[in-house]
Chains A and B, each alone.
Chain A
Amino acid sequence: QEQLVQSGPEVKKPGASVKVSCKASGYTFTDAFLHWVRQTPGQGLEYMGCISPNNGGTNYAQKFQGSITMTRDTSISTAYLEVTRLTSDDTAIYYCTRDRDGGFSFDPWGQGTLVSVSS
């Protein structure tokens, strides 16, 4: 069963950084792009960007360029999202999700990681 399991909730102070992990299982990690999506409290889904687990290449949505970094460790089938210079506006649930076979849609999804930013 293809599955993405994310790291636990985080509480950070403004100005700090956070690194969220996403561990893949049930398929070959390098076979499909991984994407990150965030959902702010009571709001909708927002696309952040993606990483190729095969070569580490990344493509970030314009809004997040300069404030996020996506990496991966193929030895443990895990992708990471680091968000820097956190503000209260970054309080959100962060989801990882994978390219569906054939691409251009997202399946499966991780369970989400809540990141709370508060002084």
Chain B
Amino acid sequence: QSALTQPASVSGSLGQSITISCTGTSSDIGNYNYVSWYQQHPGKAPKPMIYNVNNRPSGVSNRFSGSKSGNTASLTISGLQAEDEADYYCNSYRDGNTYVFGTGTKVTVL
């Protein structure tokens, strides 16, 4: 049960845009539009940021957007702000009625 692959770290300056990739297989991302993204600050529970590839829960800034192409999903944060510095995890539904998380990406705001 291998995890989805994310870059370990991504950084950007205030106001810039960054994109985090999440690579899976045809058994998960490639076969289902059930990709979600979670933001986690140190010592806190994960917070949902995107669901079903490109939908934002109520209250989440429109600076966060999601997309998918083939076996890879992406989270883009535009207009990077200091409070965006956190860990980000992707998640996908997978064959066999289960779910799998990504390896996680640490976002640093320069």
What 1/0 mask marks residues of chain B from 41 to 85 whose CB sits below 8 Å from any chain A CB?
Answer: 000011110011000010000000000000000000000000000
Task: Kindly identify which residue among A35, A49, A59, A104 contacts B51, using a CB–CB cutoff of 8 Å.
Answer: A104
Q: CB < 8 Å: which of B3, B48, B89, B97 contacts A100?
A: B48
Q: Out of A37, A45, A104, which one reaches B34, CB within 8 Å?
A: A104
Interface residues on B, range: 20 to 34
- Asked if B89 and A105 sit within 8 Å, CB to CB, the answer is no
A-B interface contact total, Cβ < 8 Å? 63
Q: In residues 92-119 of chain A, which contact B (Cβ within 8 Å)?
A: 95, 97, 100, 102, 104-107, 109-112
Contacts of B57 in A (CB 8 A): 100, 107
Contact status A105-B100, CB under 8 Å: no
B34 cross-chain contacts in A, Cβ below 8 A:
104-105
Which of A47, A95, A97, A106 makes the CB contact (< 8 A) with B98?
A: A47
Contact (Cβ within 8 A) B45 A109? yes
Does A46 sit at the interface, judged by CB under 8 A?
Answer: yes
A66 interface hit (Cβ, 8 Å): no
C-beta contact mask, B1-44 vs A, less than 8 Å → 1, else 0? 10100000000000000000000000000001010101000000
Q: How many residues of A contact B (CB 8 A)?
A: 23
In the complex where A46-B101, A62-B1, A104-B34 touch, is A111 in contact with B91 (Cβ < 8 A)?
no
A100 — which chain B residues lie within 8 A by C-beta?
A: 48, 51, 57
Q: B103: which A residues are within 8 A, CB to CB?
A: 44
Residues of A32-49 contacting chain B, CB below 8 A? 35, 37, 44-47, 49
A104-B36, A106-B91 known; A111-B98 Cβ under 8 A: no
By beta carbon, the residue of chain A nearest B3 is A44
